[in-house]
Amino acid sequence: MDDFHWIHFSDLHFSSKESFITMRARDKLIRFLCGEKLPCDYIFITGDIANKNSYRGADDVIHKLIAAASVPVERVFWAVGNHDIERSTIRETFVHGFRDVKNAPELFEKLMQDAKARKLLTYNGMRKYLTQYTKILNREITVPQANTTHLLYRLPELNLIVLNTCLASCDDQDEGRLLIMESELVNVFTGIENGKPTIVIGHHGLRYFEKTQQREMGRLFNDYNVGCYLCGHAHELGCQRIEYSSREINQYTCGIGVTQANLPKAVFIHGSYYHSYGTMHVTPYSYHENGNWAVDYEIHERLGKSNVFQIFNSNNQQPRSRLIESTEDSLSEYFIYSQNHFHRLRSGRFAYFEIDQRLYAGVKPLPIMISEPDEQPETLYDILGNHNGNFIFIGEGGTGKTTSLLNIWEHWLEAGIELPLYVPLNEYNGKVSEYFIMGYLKKWYNINLNTVNGAVILLLDGFNEIFGDLTAVIREIKDLTSRYDTRVVLTSRHKFITLYGLEGFTGYNIQPLSSKVIRTFWEDSQRNNPDLRDIELPVDWETLLSTPMMLSLFANTCAVRKKSRVMIYSRLNHLKPKVS
């Protein structure tokens, strides 16, 4: 099984009366895809190619997008949207008749068992979409397929389910009222092939369904090991965990595909699935005010540069070849536990740790460190890659200690160099256990170092955040380094940690940011944020802004302050007495 990549479009809304900026953005998108050459095996379109059932010019532009992405048309899939179907009076009256009653879910399921009612909602109700589907994608959805409503494609790398979420859609009051659950839907899911991930696409997000339907959809996704759900309709980028599932399943909402003055940013999503770990990464792209398409990791808090989500687990899943070369096969299941915990913390308590991705774009060299004043500076990866033993990384608040460990954790998971296990030492506070670290490893990684064969690296973060008696922690750290095949990396804010007799540890001091890094970050911030463009760096900026925390605080504070001034001035100006 191979890795695969896709582009997710939604709500393109082609219209006969498009504005200059909309047409310009579409043309720039085609040019961008031609030039960027994003790896792409599939295109998923989650509805609303049309605008109010008008498809004018859609086939020509869609064909250009497909060609620009270098994807065969047979690998393009389109889920119907509410604008893609014709809203006839007969259909709307029929839908209101079963949707606006108390027992709507039961009545809907009963109607879907009646051949005539089913055909009215599926084939007859979707006729315009079915005609355009053939015209645009050069293949037909047959009458039996249309009556089945939902389609399963067993593709080489994945199972793809295309949902028809528009069966009960008929007006602008759809939210919380759509219906979908019926027997044919279950039949589609039972046809999923084991051994590969399952992605579901549809137009509406789950919040648009009636409450009991939301619950059953979450359970259905959970029971059949669905990896993620791609949708649109909401006209804004989104990433939400689906409720009623014991697993973390995310719904990715692609924003609107057109740009106008009264609409949110135009966006599309590029997704990648990595088979070796069963994970996916999402890269959002948006149309900027400067008239260009570009990566936009700041558009959604859960879709920052380090977003990685588990979408497939298999006992037969094999680790990367480098992992096999570097570690024992017995560690492969613990890599999955480690990756899951990384995702949990990265999307939770560390969701906003994004400063390093702009300071150290691309290769992520991370902070420069030195062991002794007269020693040559080294990058984080060079230290861990070129030197054996255990390390203590020392730096004041905001210098990037936790961020450094998170990047080690992520990089080691990707490369399979050693099994990385992160432990936040501040959680020891108030604990009486003699073996806090071992307990944390058991709780979150299901691992007992006594029974593990293979290379392990422990990332122990925040020694200075432990309060009270440190004796038990020091004893456990010494025990870990002497008894097990593990390396230990400690971080601390103070050098006094070196007084505790931790033998075999080399201390490294995190160095201030260089003038070049600070200046590059600031210039990049000014390019991307108009509120910063007329603000100069302060006097003594090389000293004041020499840590990632202070630099990001300065940039964010300046932006907020500028906006506040503009807002206050606007309000005061509005209150000024008018001169006649």
Residue 27 lies in a domain: yes
- Whether 531 and 506 map to the same domain: the answer is no
Beta-carbon contacts of residue 159 (< 8 Å; ≥ 6 apart): 152, 153, 192, 193, 196, 197, 198, 199
Residues 386 and 488 in one domain: yes
Does residue 315 belong to any structural domain of this protein? no
DSSP annotation of 102 reads T
93-106 mean pLDDT: 91
Each residue of 121-164: pLDDT tens digit?
A: 998 889 999 999 999 999 999 988 888 899 999 999 999 999 99
Question: What's the confidence (pLDDT) of residue 363?
Answer: 32
Q: How confident is the model at residue 319 (pLDDT cuts 50, 70, 90)?
A: very low
pLDDT digits (tens, 9 = 90+) for 113-123: 999 999 889 98
Say if residue 69's pLDDT is above 90.
Answer: yes
Q: Are 137 and 22 members of one domain?
A: yes
Within-domain flag for 78:
yes
341 and 213 belong to one structural domain: no
Confidence of residue 77 (pLDDT cuts 50, 70, 90): very high
- Which of residues 264 and 339 earns the better pLDDT score? 339
* % the chain with pLDDT above 70: 84
Each residue of 284-295: pLDDT tens digit? 999 988 889 999
Domain-terminating residue out of 291, 310, 329: 310
Using CA atoms, how far apart are residues 101 and 443, in angstroms rounded to an integer? 48
Q: What pLDDT shows up at residue 371? A: 66
The total number of structural domains that make up the chain: 3
Residues 155-208 have pLDDT tens digits of 999 999 999 999 999 888 899 999 999 888 999 999 999 989 999 999 999 999
- Structure confidence at residue 173 (pLDDT): 87
Same domain, 428 and 550: no
Output DSSP code: residue 268.
E
- Is the residue at 500 inside a domain? yes
User: What is the residue whose two structure tokens read 């809304």?
Assistant: 13
| pLDDT score, position 255 | 81
Q: Structural domain of residue 387, as residue ranges?
A: 321-510
Confidence class of residue 262 from pLDDT cuts 50, 70 and 90? low
What's the confidence (pLDDT) of residue 384? 78
- Element holding 282 (H helix, E strand): strand 279-287
Expressed in percent and rounded to 5, the helix, strand and coil fractions of the chain are 40, 20, 40
List, in order, residues 6 or more apart from 236 with CB less than 8 Å away. 253, 255, 256, 264
Domain contains 316: no
Question: Quick one: pLDDT at residue 260?
Answer: 58
Residue 398 CB-density burial (10 A; 0-12 exposed, 13-18 middle, 19+ buried): middle
Burial class (CB in 10 A: 0-12, 13-18, 19+), 465: middle
For strand 267-274 and strand 4-9, is the pairing parallel, antiparallel, or unpaired?
Answer: antiparallel
Report the C-alpha gap between 60 and 70 in whole angstroms: 15
Residue type, 477: I
pLDDT-derived band at 83 (thresholds 50, 70, 90) equals very high
546, two tokens: 């020499």
Q: Say yes or no: 117 and 171 in one domain.
A: yes
pLDDT value, residue 569 = 47
CATH number at residue 464: 3.40.50.300
Report whether pLDDT(408) > 80.
yes
Bridge partner residues of 9 (DSSP): 45
The residue from 480, 495, 510 where one domain ends is: 510
Q: Is residue 250 part of a domain?
A: yes
Same domain, 84 and 199: yes
- What is the per-residue pLDDT for 498? 63
pLDDT at 430: 58
Does 241 have pLDDT greater than 60?
Answer: yes
The pLDDT tens digits for 333-391 are 888 889 888 888 877 777 666 544 444 433 333 566 666 666 677 777 778 776 778 88
270 and 345 assigned to the same domain: no
Q: Which residues contact 259 (CB under 8 A, 6 or more apart)?
A: 21, 22, 25, 265, 266, 287
Flag whether pLDDT at 414 surpasses 90. Answer: no
| CATH number of domain containing 182 | 3.60.21.10
- Measured CA to CA, the distance from residue 526 to residue 516 in angstroms comes to 15
- The mean pLDDT of 417-427, rounded to a whole number, is 88
> Does 260 map to a domain?
yes
- pLDDT higher for 573 or 191? 191
Instruction: Give the list of residues 6+ apart from residue 497 with CB closer than 8 angstroms, or none.
Output: 392, 394, 463, 464, 490
Whether residue 9 is found in the same domain as residue 148: yes
Highest mean pLDDT among 228-232, 237-241, 422-426, 551-555: 228-232
Same domain, 520 and 495: no
Higher-confidence residue: 495 or 301?
Answer: 301
- Note whether residue 543 is domain-resident: yes
pLDDT, tens only, 461-520: 988 888 777 888 888 888 888 888 788 999 988 766 666 777 778 888 888 888 887 887
Q: What is the predicted pLDDT for the residue at 460?
A: 94
Q: Which letter does DSSP use for residue 83 in this model? A: G
For the chain, state the CA radius of gyration.
Answer: 27
Query: Last residue of a domain, which of 453, 488, 510?
Result: 510
- The DSSP string of 211-235 is HHHHHHHHHHHHHTTEEEEEE-SSS
Is 254 found in the same domain as 119? yes
Distance in angstroms (rounded) separating the CA atoms of residues 145 and 163: 12
Q: Residue 558 pLDDT > 90, yes or no? A: no
3-class SS string, 112-145: HCCHHHHHHHHHHCCHHHHHHHHHHHCCCCCHHH
What's the pLDDT score for residue 570? 52
pLDDT score recorded for residue 325: 39
HSE-CB for 287 with a 13 A CA cutoff: 27
Tell me how far apart the alpha carbons of residues 280 and 207 are, in angstroms, rounded to a whole number.
23
| Same domain membership, residue 567 and residue 493 | no
Q: What is the pLDDT of residues 10-56, one digit of tens each?
A: 999 987 677 788 888 889 999 999 999 999 999 999 999 998 888 98
The conformation of residue 493, written as its DSSP 8-state character, comes to S
pLDDT score at 218? 92
Confidence label for 452 from pLDDT (cuts 50, 70 and 90): confident
CA torsion angle for 559, 563, 568, 571 (degrees, to 10)? 180
pLDDT the model gives residue 495: 66
- Helix 89-99 to helix 104-112 angle (10° resolution) is 130
Strand 159-162 versus strand 42-45 pairing type: unpaired
